[in-house]
Structure 1
Amino acid sequence: MPVDPLVVRARGLWEDLAQVPVSFGPRPGSVDVVVSPRSRLCPRGWVGVVVLGGSAIVTAPTDGVARVVRDALGNLPVEAVVDGVLVQEALPVGRVLGPAALAYVSPANFRPAEAGALTVEQLPAAHPDLRALEQAAGEGDAGEASLDEVTSLAFVVREQGRVVAAAGYRAWPRQTAHVSVLTAPDSRGRGLARVTGTAAVAQALAEGLLPQWRARTPASRRVAGALGFAELGFQLSIEVA
């Protein structure tokens, strides 16, 4: 059975980010564990796990950690290696980040949201009004969105002069656009994330990039789904105690 082209492109991205030769196995359920001290699948010194299209790659910082991970995860089904609860039962874990859903969209499946009466403005990514939005959203939500890392223009909606929603993307390897979306807490639930996200994704697609939406919260995953993104896998980062 042919592999979805989106899965092929997404796998190529994460194989590059592993920083060592590794590939998602052709057999469903395969889990390939490699040693990569400079892996970009996770924070430095952690274990990074990515499942895409039914198989997984795992990076470990040292040979010793890799042996522990292989022994622990080798007995788990592939969908369980990105389950934070099950992984903590199998491994001596310090901290866990995720799991985060990895979603992608093609031009054919993109479902842009109508802006209606809203005006979408463009701002430089370093604009102080974006920093004000991050401050209003709080450290946790701002960190999740990572709006300060976008390399594109930011697409924003204002109300009474204040930026209440913004989206953009950061250029990742393999012509990937990693999408960031953030809405002020008092403006959520009104579709603003869909409107600003639409502008960012449309720009990425126009440039021939692969939009990637990484989300941990149900609300963010719902926005991605509304725009036509398909969840193809998950990412988990593990600090082994």
Structure 2
Amino acid sequence: MTLQSDTIAIIRQSWASILGVSAEALARGEGRIYREKNDSAVLMFVSLFGTGILLGPSWAIEAGRNLPDTDLVSHAKLLELSTPYGGRPLGEAKLYYSDSAPTLTTPKAKVSRARAHAVALEAACPPEDTAEVGLSAMENTFTLLSDSEKEPVPLAGAGYDVWEEAVAHLGALVSPASRRTGLGSQAVAIAQKHALDAGLISQWRVHVDNIASIRTALRAGFEYAGTQTTVILKN
């Protein structure tokens, strides 16, 4: 499965808008793109379809010109560069995209769009997982509930925010008791289908060490497109 050329163009356009760089330069893929922003709250390096983009203050741009992409993609390297300027860790992530319809089977559980069920699912999950996904804060949520005659129990959920009116930034959360049941993949497929019907390209951003989430993305048909590495410079 390969992303369509129109899809790649839209992804590039979206990131160009987010980072404040030329979409044409990003499309050409010539060398590296620099965005000097002295009041930037972050130092960020994005690698997208083979092109690197460095966003940050002048001191970061100057240092970055002497480093290869393989260094700048490293969270440790960005922290090293930014520590004298008060840099604080945020993370290193991989970016995946999908523009095709997911395999959507008959749900094994009820699907709820209620925000309260997303909040209840978060309460059942480890705090670090809840913080990474931010499910209940997303614009669109889909929570799978147990088929119980009493109070339904949230089992898994997925959702997305809309970026630049073109990209659906997805996330998923599965309760510890429901992992390895296929419910997480099913929730992702439901969110993907909803995003596709809205004319959006699905994006999956995952921390480089989150192997389970990477596997979920690959099972759902997402394709690797690049990385995003960020450190915080200001409160």
**Does 2:11 align with 1:10?**
yes
Paired residues, number: 222
Instruction: Tell me the residue number matched to 1:63.
Output: none
Instruction: Give the counterpart of 1:156 among 141, 144, 152.
Output: 144
**Does 2:194 align with 1:203?**
yes
1:73-152 pair list within 5 angstroms: 73-92=64-83, 94-107=87-100, 110-112=101-103, 114-115=105-106, 118-124=108-114, 126=115, 128-152=116-140
**Does 2:214 align with 1:212?**
no
Q: Secondary structure of 1:59's match?
A: strand
Q: CA RMSD in A?
A: 2.5
Instruction: Tell me the residue number matched to 2:55.
Output: 59
**Does 2:178 align with 1:176?**
no
Do the aligned partners of residues 213 and 119 (structure 1) sit closer, same or farther apart at CA in structure 2, a change above 3 Å counting?
same
Q: Deviation per CA, 1:4-47: give whole Å up to 9, x if none.
A: 433322121122122x344427245414232174x6xxxxx221
Structure 1 distance, partners of 2:79, 2:38, is: 21
Gaps of 5+ in 2: none
Structure 2 distance, partners of 1:174, 1:12, is: 11
Deviation of the 1:188 alpha carbon? 1.3
Which range moved further: 190-199 or 89-98? 89-98
Q: Deviation per CA, 1:58-102: give whole Å up to 9, x if none.
A: 322xxxxx2221222222222432211333344437322221111
Gaps of 5+ in 1: 40-44, 61-65
Structure 2 distance, partners of 1:85, 1:179, is: 26
Instruction: Give the counterpart of 2:44 among 41, 48, 52.
Output: 48
Structure 2 distance, partners of 1:35, 1:25, is: 22
Do the aligned partners of residues 97 and 5 (structure 1) sit closer, same or farther apart at CA in structure 2, a change above 3 Å counting?
farther
What letter is aligned with 1:132? A
TM-score (norm: length of structure 2): 0.83
Deviation of the 1:55 alpha carbon? 1.2
Q: Deviation per CA, 1:167-203: give whole Å up to 9, x if none.
A: 1211221321111211112221222110100011011
TM-score (norm: length of structure 1): 0.81
Structure 2 distance, partners of 1:7, 1:79, is: 22
Contact 2:118 2:141 in 1 (8 A): no
Q: Deviation per CA, 1:130-156: give whole Å up to 9, x if none.
A: 211111113211111111222224242
Contact 2:37 2:58 in 1 (8 A): no
Indicate the percent of aligned positions where both proteins have the same amino acid.
26
Q: Secondary structure of 2:105's match?
A: coil
Contact 1:177 1:210 in 2 (8 A): yes
Contact 2:166 2:201 in 1 (8 A): yes
